[in-house]
A and B are shown apart, each in its own frame.
Chain A
Amino acid sequence: MSLERRTAEALREGARVERLWRVFEETKRSRDEGIRRLSVDELSLVRESKVSALRRLEELVEEVRTAVERAGGEVIFARGAEDARMTVVRVLKDAGVRKVIKSKSITSEEIHLNEALLSAGIEVVETDLGERVVQLSGGRPSHILGPALHLSREEVAAILTKSLGEGVDPDPGSIVGAVRRHLRGEMMRAAAGITGANAIDSETGTVVVVTNEGNEQFVVGFPGLVVCVAGVEKLVKGLEAAVRVARVQSASATGRMPSYVTLYGPRWWGDGKRFVLILLDNGRTEALSDPWLWQVNLCVRCGACFNVCNPYRTVSGLVFGKNYSGPIGVVWDAITSGFDAANEYAWLCFSCGLCELECPVGIRIPLLISRVKSFSKRDLKVSLLAGGFELYARLGGRLAPLLNRAHKSRAFRAVLEALAGIDKDAPLPDFRGGTLRGALESLNISDDRDVGAGTVVYFPDTYTSFIDWGVGVEAVITLRSLGYKVVLYSGPGTHMPAIQYGGLGLASAVSERITEALLPYVERGARVVVTEPTASYCLREVFPAVLGTPESKTIARSTFHLSELLVKDGLSTEFGRSELAGKLAYYHVSCHGQGSDLMDATRSLLERVGLRVVTRALGCCGMAGTWGMRSGPVGRGLSSEIGRMVTERIRAERPDLVVTESSVCSLQLREFLDVPVLHTVNVLRPSLNRRRT
């Protein structure tokens, strides 16, 4: 079934959407509290130990082999999925095993281990509660940590009632009791156990596994043969490093410590049990030579990136997934099952960038996904959107009246949908006519000439340059009134749509040109100021990552959002009480503004002019640049549903107005809300106390 159809079906399941949003909102809240208890040092220690292990992976493989074999265990290196499946089957068959118990292992999903065992006549009993329910249902997990999160309690109870042959009430306590009773006997009798690993210490061959349910204690503790199937990237040097991985993984997953961490290896207390460690490559070492994808090997599989991904929350991992699921799942599937497999759902990612902010080991997930998308067959309409947005915006500057009329014509919108894939019902912006430069010239505002420390280069990006320059004029007036010398940037826009739609090559070319254009000013002491969060995201985050040059990093360090600049330069006091003072403003921080100083800066300025400000971490509003303008369930369909969920929460705050820095978020918010939606600069500029003389 196509991604469009699967998405359309998922969007019809309103109750599931509501439930998943609630679950991930709760998880994010508790995770945010818990992760604060870990120091930055601890997070960097884990990243460093993983990076250093990946640099000398071959050495670590040899080390673990020696350690395990010396202590009487076995290590088998499996190149691919088939190799790993056959090895497990052979080990179990040789030992005469007919039934095996398993703890949750997404790596075994990756290699389709259960199917192979069943065809070899070996019964598999999953012991993680959610995983067992999913197994009994014949489905597949929708989340790496909560495999059955997509199911309601009624659905779980029905699956168990049917499979266990006893009536199970649809209440979580009864469900858990039924599964415990059902699994106890199975677990105590099993001849063999299969586990995954959160980390493996190469020096001792110790496998570290985190669980909350405690099933690992049964899987490792009862059978006489224990097989661990783990990706080779789980190797780290030293037991302390392995324990730290477990600690960070759990804190980042739920904000809490897990209930259990089990450590086991080749040597067993007292009895002569057998231990086989199967180290799986399956694309991992090949990925190490990719400039972007290597990073996936740092992943500790905490699931934090899932919590904030609004497309994932909305359609669940059954659609946003294949063998893996969620944001990083796209990359795992790409390296382990191929780009085609990953691109079956990678296109649900609209590059909001929020998952990256959650990752405890700093994986640049959105850029990795963009890299995966770059290997897919390009849809012509998507290419048009990726490359044509800036062109259309420039055209709109010249032909505003004509295009504005056309946007209201059903016939034109139908043609636009057929040719460019722009949904005929999606909100499109009205062109103001002309350009920002033209508007400034007509107000007799020209570029300041003597560039120096007090100069700012205003980078308006495509929207403010050509579609609606109102915010740009207000920003330039504000800056000049406060004594800055202002130069208006000329050059290409950031081309964010290109990055979104997998065009990392174009992004790299554009970022070179933009860096070249800005550098001469920055080198003379000027700073770059933006009013669109996507512009600051590209200049500060994406371009330095894409180019990696000292010049791009210099630009990144010199780029500020307008609010950040004003607060940093101590200019808050230049603003007085606004006409809006006393009103309740909901501040919608666009995705690309999150994780920066923008949020605190804007909030303090809005409060300074007398607004009462409320904001919530709701994530992307669904517009995501041009994403919400695309036709079809994956475009406007998904965008509207996310917009509905987000604005429902905003409405619950009962704001008098909404303030946001993003022009495209404004389009979406106006579509769903009936209060005014203003750009920050439109609130601040009228409250300026002084004017430049």
Chain B
Amino acid sequence: MSLEAFLESCRANGVLVDVLRGALELREVVERAASEVGARLIVVDGALAEAADRGELFLPMEARPLREVDLELLKHHDNGVLLVRSAGAAIAEMGAAVLWGDARTQRATAMTEHLMVLIRAECVLDVAKASSVIRGVLTESGGPVHLVIGPSATRDVEHVRVLGAHGPVTLRFAVSP
């Protein structure tokens, strides 16, 4: 299933996607995303922090690895935290980023006010292939695995859509080659 199909699904889901020309462009895109949502703190997950340490990609200077951040900081939405995560896979037909990892990272993903997910183009799969990858994660490493498709939202009050019901108010994907 093509990257085009994934982008099409994201458009249908109303999720903003930045398609990067190279991994080096990530810093710029994260900075732009942070400034657009008025984030005061950029936090990155372990995989991204390690990749940056290895020099495979560049992150904004002020970005802090999640391991150094107290989760209490993410408890309240008005602290303006943008969490940047890397997806293990993505599902083209659903426009979903597939996120797995340790409990602390998954909890931070649930709590953060703003979420950005970096997806490598080669990890965009169809439902069948993605299911088999997820099955491997769940049986070998363990869950939970979250398919993240949109910002946290509710229509429980008079059917009016309000974002940030429990989790992120904004969601943005960045697709890298």
Residues of A within 8 A of B (CB): 19, 22-23, 26-27, 37, 71, 127-130, 133, 146-149, 151-153, 156, 172-173, 175-177, 179-181, 183-185, 187-188, 201, 203-204, 206, 212-215, 217-218, 220-222, 238-240, 243-244, 247, 256-265, 267-271
Contacts and interface: CB of A to CB of B under 8 A. Distances in A.
A269 B143 contact: yes
A269 B148 contact: no
A214 B77 CA distance: 14
Contacts of A257: 9, 12-13, 94-96, 149-150
A247 B75 contact: no
B135 A176 contact: no
B127 interface: yes
Top-9 shortest CB links A-B: A214-B167, A130-B156, A217-B110, A213-B165, A264-B144, A240-B131, A259-B150, A214-B152, A261-B147
A149 B159 CA distance: 7
Contact of A183 (B91, B143, B166): B166
Contacts of A133: 156
A246 to B, nearest CB: 8
A269 B142 contact: yes
B148 A260 contact: yes
B176 interface: no
Contacts of B6: none
Given A172-B162, A218-B110, A221-B110, A263 B143 contact: yes
Contact of A263 (B12, B94, B134, B141): B134
B52 interface: no
5 contacts: A180-B164, A212-B152, A213-B165, A217-B109, A270-B142
B143 A267 contact: yes
B102 interface: yes
B100 interface: yes
A31 to B, nearest CB: 13
Contact of B143 (A153, A206, A259): A206
A221 to B, nearest CB: 5
A138 B17 CA distance: 43
A180 B77 contact: yes
A591 B60 CA distance: 60
Contact of A176 (B91, B100, B146, B154): B154
A260 B146 contact: yes
A177 B78 CA distance: 11
Q: Which of B91, B147, B154, B155 has the most CB of A within 10 A?
A: B154
A128 B152 CA distance: 12
Contact of B154 (A130, A238, A260, A270): A130
A203 B139 CA distance: 10
A258 B150 contact: yes
Q: Which of B75, B103, B140, B162 has the most CB of A within 10 A?
A: B162
B69 to A, nearest CB: 15
A151 B157 CA distance: 8
B138 A212 contact: no
A129 B157 CA distance: 9
B17 to A, nearest CB: 14
Given A217-B110, A221-B106, A267-B138, A260 B165 contact: no
Nearest to B107: A221
B156 A247 contact: no
Contacts of A259: 148-153, 171
B58 to A, nearest CB: 28
B102 A147 contact: no
B128 interface: yes
B36 interface: no
Nearest to B115: A214
A214 B166 contact: yes
B93 interface: yes
A19 B158 CA distance: 8
Contact of A217 (B13, B102, B106, B135): B106
A149 to B, nearest CB: 7
Contacts of A177: 77, 164
Given A129-B165, A222-B107, A257-B9, A244 B156 contact: no
Nearest to B153: A212
Q: Which of B9, B138, B166 has the most CB of A within 10 A?
A: B166
B109 A37 contact: no
B146 A217 contact: yes
Contact of A172 (B128, B135, B157): B157
A217 B142 contact: no
Which secondary structure characterizes the binding site on chain B?
A: mixed
Contacts of A213: 152-154, 165-167
A212 B93 CA distance: 18
A261 B93 CA distance: 14
A184 B75 contact: yes
Given A212-B153, A217-B109, A268 B142 contact: yes
A258 B139 contact: no
Contacts of A270: 102-103, 142
A37 B146 CA distance: 23
A212 B144 contact: no
A247 B94 CA distance: 8
A686 to B, nearest CB: 46
A176 B166 CA distance: 9
Nearest to B8: A37
Contacts of B91: 243
A225 to B, nearest CB: 14
Given A206-B143, A217-B109, A243-B134, 4 more contacts: A172-B158, A222-B107, A263-B138, A265-B143
B75 A217 contact: no
Contacts of B167: 213-214, 217, 260
Contacts of A214: 110, 152, 165-168
Contacts of A269: 100-103, 106, 141-144
A204 B144 CA distance: 13
B73 interface: no
A175 B166 contact: no
A156 B157 contact: yes
A106 to B, nearest CB: 15
A226 to B, nearest CB: 9
A37 B157 contact: no
B166 A180 contact: yes
Contacts of B165: 129, 176, 179-180, 212-215
Nearest to A131: B156
A258 B149 contact: yes
A146 B103 CA distance: 29
Nearest to A255: B12
B145 interface: yes
Contacts of A201: 135
A131 B135 CA distance: 31
Contact of A264 (B96, B143, B159): B143
A601 to B, nearest CB: 32
A175 B154 CA distance: 11
Given A212-B165, A268-B103, A269-B141, A146 B131 contact: no
B61 interface: no
A149 B156 CA distance: 6
A217 B101 CA distance: 13
Interface in B74-113: 75-77, 91, 93-96, 100-103, 106-107, 109-111
A129 B154 CA distance: 8
A260 B149 contact: yes
Nearest to B135: A239
A263 B154 contact: no
Nearest to A267: B142
A675 to B, nearest CB: 32
Nearest to B131: A240
A304 B139 CA distance: 34
A27 B156 CA distance: 13
A172 B162 CA distance: 7
A187 B166 CA distance: 10
Contacts of A37: 12
